[in-house]
Structure formats: C-alpha cells, structure tokens
C-alpha cells in the first residue's frame, strides 16, 4: 500500500476498540490515535482542577490551555504521561458528560483531524467514521453485548487494583454511557453507513484483529 492509509474505528464503551486498534497499529505500522483517551485526559484535568463538569465555559477555558499529545502509543497531558490515570473508574463516571458538550467536541475534532494528517493512522472513538474522518479508507464499528462489555470492564478494573467495584454497578454505568453517547445532540455514537460492523461478543482479540487486517489487505 503506497497511498496514505486512514482507518476509523468506532464503537461503544468496553467493546475493545483501544486494544484492537493498538494491535492493528503495530501490525500495519500505523500511528494510533485514541480519541477517547483525549476526552479522558480532559476529564482528568477538569476533576483535578475541581471544576464543575457542568460548567461549559470553564471547561472550554481549560481545554484552550491544555496540551494533549501522543507518542509511541502513550498519551501525554501537558507533557505528563497519563495512560494509567485516565483509566480510573472516576474518569469512567464523568467522561461522557464532558464528551457530550458540542463545543468541546468541535475543538477536539480540529485537533484529531490535524493529527490524522501527520502519517498513516488508525483512530478510534465514537464519531470517527461519521464526523472526524468521514473520508477514511476503512471504517469499522466494533461492538459487543452490554453484558460482555461490562464484564470486560469489571475484569480490567480488578486487574488494575481498583477497589469497591462490582459487576452490576459497572453494567449500570455502561448502559448510562451508551444512552448519553448515542443520544447527545452533537456527533452521537452511531455506525457510519459504509462501516464494517463486527460483533466481538464471542470473539477473541486476535480473531478481531485478524479479521480487520484481512479486510484492509483485501484478503
């Protein structure tokens, strides 16, 4: 493949987008851009600064003064690597409320599009194929049953040492995130008309990765 390759991955919380995208990036030598992590990083800063998550003006002011960058599949907030911090459950509880703010999304889209011009990329999120990169070479919508997604998130949090988490609560939280993400006014979560849909409920990570690579490589 000699032409520029741009791959868009969309899907709901807990579907495995980040893990899948990272593996594809490594296999195809693409730059991986986790847009969900960008919203998580902003959420982290908002919480650390003690800002009301409903105060749009202050959130936009913070965003304008914030640097969010990627390097070697790691995310940096104002120059500090925050891979672990943005995956804490307190971020899970608030990120959708900040991500639904249309002014925030508009600014993030500008940043994301600039990042996509740098090199061959794979970008994942909620609105990549529909809003951010509508002209991507390949679009995929990764999903799974809500129960399976909650189970994955539950196991992930336990493996990272999170305390006071239980499956039923996480299931409730993911259902609420789905509701917010799919009903927000600006750039809601939805499958692009020309996207390949892959239900990962009964698939391993390797099976999903192989399937996507086969489609990209025309096999």
Q: What does the pLDDT average to over 203-216?
A: 96
Q: State the pairing for strand pair 121-125/6-10.
A: parallel
Q: Show the beta-strand stretches assigned E in the chain.
A: 6-10, 31-34, 68-71, 74-77, 80-81, 121-125, 138-143, 196-199
Question: Does residue 219 carry a pLDDT above 70?
Answer: no
Q: How far apart are CA 55 and CA 104, in angstroms?
A: 12
Q: What is the mean pLDDT of residues 173-199?
A: 92
The 10s digit of each residue's pLDDT in 117-148 is 878 999 999 899 999 999 999 999 999 999 99
Q: Tokens at residue 2, please?
A: 């000699």
pTM (predicted TM-score): 0.82
Give me the phi and psi of 197, to 5 degrees please. Answer: -100, 130
Compute the distance between CA of residue 29 and CA of residue 120 in angstroms, rounded to an integer: 8
Say if CB 132 and CB 117 are below 8 A apart: no
Other CB atoms within 10 A of residue 77 CB: 21
Q: What is the pLDDT of residues 155-175, one digit of tens each?
A: 988 998 888 889 999 999 999
With a cut of 60, say whether residue 2 has pLDDT above it: no
Q: What is the pLDDT of residues 78-130, one digit of tens each?
A: 999 999 999 988 998 999 899 989 999 999 999 899 888 878 999 999 899 99
Q: How far apart are CA 134 and CA 154, in angstroms?
A: 33
pLDDT at 1: 45
Q: What is the SS3 assignment for 125? A: strand
């Amino acid at each position: 493949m000699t032409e520029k390759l741009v791959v868009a991955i969309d899907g709901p919380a807990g579907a495995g987008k980040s893990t899948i995208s990272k593996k594809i990036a490594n296999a195809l030598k693409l730059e991986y851009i986790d847009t969900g992590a960008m919203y998580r990083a902003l959420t982290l800063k908002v919480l650390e600064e003690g800002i009301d998550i409903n105060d749009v003006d202050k959130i936009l002011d913070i965003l304008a003064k914030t640097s969010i960058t990627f390097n070697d599949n790691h995310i940096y907030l104002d120059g500090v690597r925050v891979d672990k911090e943005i995956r804490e459950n307190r971020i899970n509880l608030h990120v959708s409320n900040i991500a639904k703010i249309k002014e925030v999304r508009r600014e993030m889209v500008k940043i994301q599009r600039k990042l996509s011009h740098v090199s061959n990329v794979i970008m994942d999120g909620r609105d990549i194929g529909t809003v951010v990169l509508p002209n991507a070479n390949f679009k995929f919508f990764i999903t799974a049953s809500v129960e399976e997604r909650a189970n994955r998130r539950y196991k992930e949090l336990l493996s990272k040492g999170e305390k006071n988490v239980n499956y039923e609560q996480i299931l409730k939280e993911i259902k609420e995130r789905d509701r917010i993400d799919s009903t927000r006014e600006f750039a809601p979560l939805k499958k692009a008309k020309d996207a390949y849909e892959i239900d990962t409920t009964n698939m391993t990570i390797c099976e999903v990765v192989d399937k996507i690579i086969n489609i990209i490589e025309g096999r």
